[in-house]
Amino acid sequence: MSEKAIQDYYPDEVSHCYGCGRLNEHGLQLKSHWDGDVTVACFQPQVYHCGISGYVYGGLIASLIDCHGMGTAAAASYRAEQRDLDSHPPFRFVTGSLHVRYVRPTPLGPPLEIRGRIKEIKGRKVTVGVTVAAEGRICVTGEVIAVQMPDHMMPGQGDEPTGSN
Amino acid sequence: MSEKAIQDYYPDEVSHCYGCGRLNEHGLQLKSHWDGDVTVACFQPQVYHCGISGYVYGGLIASLIDCHGMGTAAAASYRAEQRDLDSHPPFRFVTGSLHVRYVRPTPLGPPLEIRGRIKEIKGRKVTVGVTVAAEGRICVTGEVIAVQMPDHMMPGQGDEPTGSN
């Protein structure tokens, strides 16, 4: 598995995301890595990240799927161009859509394993399938459509783009 | 608009949700209300709730849609039985699925208005359509399928239910 996380290659100006930005000290700081042809992240929920007591909050899981999906889309785009993650120009994606299916309640306590798999790369859009497992058992499945961030969404640029993350 | 929030009627033992539990001091404490035939909630994101700087984090928005959808499902179920929100037995829902479409980036700064509309009540499942608007403009649309929480998911009961929130 790669040592430095995919998100740690994001340029500073787009590294404040609450879910995965290394520069957001209040955030979740999710870290995703390549593991062969799939991506993987590990996340330890806090005791207050509960939905019903004893189970992980569904909105937190949606957030992990979101950020892991965007990271996977970026990493896959570099690979498709046979470029390293620190090469230029950088890839950064925002969320077009997010679909989450809660197969079974996710127990709160063990670390969660989030795995991503590229389903399709088409133009500026990448579709990523994601699973979230606890103790080796898949509890949640998801699919995200990631859209390359328009230049005018870059901090300091214009406004009115499409997508959010 | 009703004064006491829908979530404030949840029994104590299911009021620790990170997104909307009044007893979770670390959480978002979303509050949803009836407004005629629809439900509405208002939420003020914090500066650290950003995705790309200047825009609201998509995972936070997914969380608001999730909890507002569950609250709407509960409230609609009482109405369908012509019962008050504080009558027994209580309704509490968990998330079966969550679908979010980011129509345009959500500006970070103004309060967000989350509106819910019942699409279908069928057995133990309720489908809720949700919109999230900033400054009167819809930025995100969502749909949640809420499933009545199985009795064994109640804190202190058995295990292995279906759903999460």
Q: Which of A17, A49, A104 is closest, CB to CB, to B50?
A: A17
Residue B82 identity (one-letter amino acid)? Q
pLDDT in tens, B34-75: 999 999 999 999 999 999 999 999 999 999 999 999 999 999
**Nearest chain B CA: its distance from A64 CA (Å):** 8
Per-residue pLDDT at A159: 47
Q: What's the rounded mean pLDDT across residues A20-26?
A: 98
Write the CA distances from A107 to A98, A140, B114, B120, integer angstroms: 22, 11, 28, 29
> What is the three-class DSSP state of B159?
coil
Contacts with A140 from chain B: Cβ below 8 Å: 164
Of the candidates A103, A163, A109, A165, the residue with the CA atom closest to the CA atom of residue A137? A103
Q: Can you read off the two tokens belonging to residue A136?
A: 């080796």
Cis peptide leading into A89, omega within 30 of 0? yes
What is the number of other CB atoms lying within 10 angstroms of the CB of residue A110?
15
In chain B, % of residues over pLDDT 70? 93
Residue B160 has pLDDT above 50, yes or no: no
Q: Which of B66, B155, B161 is closest, CB to CB, to A53?
A: B155
Per-residue pLDDT at B154: 80
Contacts with B102 from chain A: Cβ below 8 Å: 94-98, 162-165
Per-residue pLDDT at B1: 57
Q: Can you read off the two tokens belonging to residue A88?
A: 């230029």
Query: pTM value?
Result: 0.94
Q: Would the CB atoms of B105 and A164 count as touching at under 8 Å?
A: yes
ipTM of the complex: 0.93
Per-residue pLDDT at B152: 83
Residue A162 has pLDDT above 50, yes or no: no
Residue A65 identity (one-letter amino acid)? I
Per-residue pLDDT at A2: 59
Per-residue pLDDT band for B153 (boundaries 50, 70, 90) equals confident
Per-residue pLDDT at A10: 94
Residue of B nearest to A101 (CA): B97
pLDDT in tens, B14-40: 999 999 999 999 999 999 999 999 999
